[in-house]
Structure 1
Amino acid sequence: MQKPDSLIFDMDGTLWDAVDTYAESWNVIFREMEIDIIVTRDELAKMVGMEGRKVIAHIMPDFDDEKRQFIYATVNERRRSLLPQMGGILYDGVKEGLQQLAEKYPVFILSNCAKGIIRLFIDWAGIDKHITDELAHGVNFMPKNHNIKLLMDQHGLKSPVYIGDTAGDGDESRKAGVPFVFVSYGFGDTADYDLKFDDFKSLTDYFMEL
């Protein structure tokens, strides 16, 4: 792979695991609304990286779209208050790695999460000074390939790579015309990638040596 001019990271399953907090944000709202649904960690982990409309259709199949959207908005409001308290698990080597990588590359985070969640993650992890910009699906409700190209246009990026943990991340990278770097320690699996790393330190070392 030729040296990229920038690194765009997925968030969930690539930089951290906050599935327990995400599940709690669903379950606390279902309890308050007296809805007989329980979201488990295992169930939610399989949906990490999906756009919100697909997640809510799976979790609430018996509700119409208007009710799903209302509940999802309520869940996301609660999630914004829970994340700073509960946080998640930052993967080994991420904080140190981003610090190193940011000395050599502009670093971005692009995720299919709700608006405001990436900023909460950045603040919780203490990585603000290493991140050039971020973009969440909830800002414009567009797919990742569109938002990858949007970041490229906004920041004049010519040869970024997208780094993620699911087959969907790979598909969206292809649609955007950028190389896909797969991290195998996350929530997904795929054989369609340009590079693969089993831990964040290996990824950091590779791009620092390019």
Structure 2
Amino acid sequence: MTSFPFEIVGFDLDGTLLDSHGDLAHAVNHALSIEGRPAIPASAVRDLIGGGAKKMLAKALEVTGGSVAEARFDELHQSLLDFYEDNIAVETRLFPGGEAMLDGLAQRGVKLAVVTNKLERFAVKIFKDLGLTSRFYTVIGGDTLGPGRAKPRPDLLNLMLERAGGGRAAYVGDTTYDTGAAAAAGLPCVAVSFGFNDRPPLDLGAAAVIDHFDELIPALERIA
């Protein structure tokens, strides 16, 4: 047992642990170019992220001229995924302070997990490419349990607990998908203000909000 108040800490991926908006923007704009749509600045793509690639693409199409037929959307979605898989960790990096924060939790005996709505194979590939795989006891994606079980449903967080063998847990995220899933799973959630927030950080419903990863360990101790 660890003296730290949480034995398990789970993290969302995009906009929480990793700043992935640059690589996601390139993939979205690749799909938009196929449809003859204008590119969206990477800074604006940040506001479209959350809920998975389909939601991101649908929002991008809406802001560049409107939706397309379902069959065409499926083609564009597949093109986006193919491009992203081939260019998944070109610009993606841990947010500032992330490495020291992960070290600090590991030194306290905490089991670390990733629970994301990104496809599992993409999440696994990103952490492998960035040399971070060994830090986490599990990486769970939005499709790990099949259709309809991604966040904000609690299913993926329940799987995180199951794979850890139980224990007191907290979750860290940046959107209402994360705070909603944590609430449904009965876990406290810390929100990061530097992520791809779909609401103002203080309105996400988190137990605490941090502005830098230096603040995470104290915040977890406080909310416990």
TM range (shorter): 0.7 to 0.9
1:194 matched to 2:198? The reply is no
Amino acid corresponding to residue 4 of structure 1 in structure 2 = F
1:91 matched to 2:95? The reply is yes
What do residues 34-65 of structure 1 show as CA deviations (whole Å, max 9, x unaligned)?
53242332432112222334323322342123
User: Does the CA contact (< 8 Å) of 1:10 and 1:109 recur in 2?
Assistant: yes
Aligned partners of 1:57, 1:30: CA distance in 2, in Å?
11
* Offset at residue 197 of structure 1 (A): 1.9
Aligned partners of 1:23, 1:51: CA distance in 2, in Å?
13
1:117 matched to 2:117? The reply is no
Q: Structure 1 residues 129, 100: closer, same or farther in 2, change over 3 A?
A: farther
> 4+ residue runs of structure 1 moved beyond 6 angstroms?
none
Aligned partners of 1:69, 1:159: CA distance in 2, in Å?
40
Correspondence for 2:158: 149
Q: Structure 1 residues 21, 53: closer, same or farther in 2, change over 3 A?
A: closer
Structure 1, gaps ≥5 residues long: none
The aligned runs of 1:141-180 (5 Å cut-off) are 141=147, 142-144=149-151, 145-180=154-189
User: Does the CA contact (< 8 Å) of 2:120 and 2:139 recur in 1?
Assistant: no
Aligned partners of 1:49, 1:202: CA distance in 2, in Å?
23
Point out the more displaced range, 10-19 or 137-146: 137-146
Structure 2, gaps ≥5 residues long: none
The root-mean-square deviation of aligned C-alpha atoms, in Å, is 2.4
* Offset at residue 205 of structure 1 (A): 5.0
Q: Structure 1 residues 126, 64: closer, same or farther in 2, change over 3 A?
A: same
TM (norm. structure 1) is 0.86
User: Does the CA contact (< 8 Å) of 1:90 and 1:125 recur in 2?
Assistant: no
Corresponding residue pairs, total: 207
Point out the more displaced range, 37-46 or 90-99: 37-46
Aligned partners of 1:40, 1:116: CA distance in 2, in Å?
27
Aligned partners of 1:208, 1:130: CA distance in 2, in Å?
21
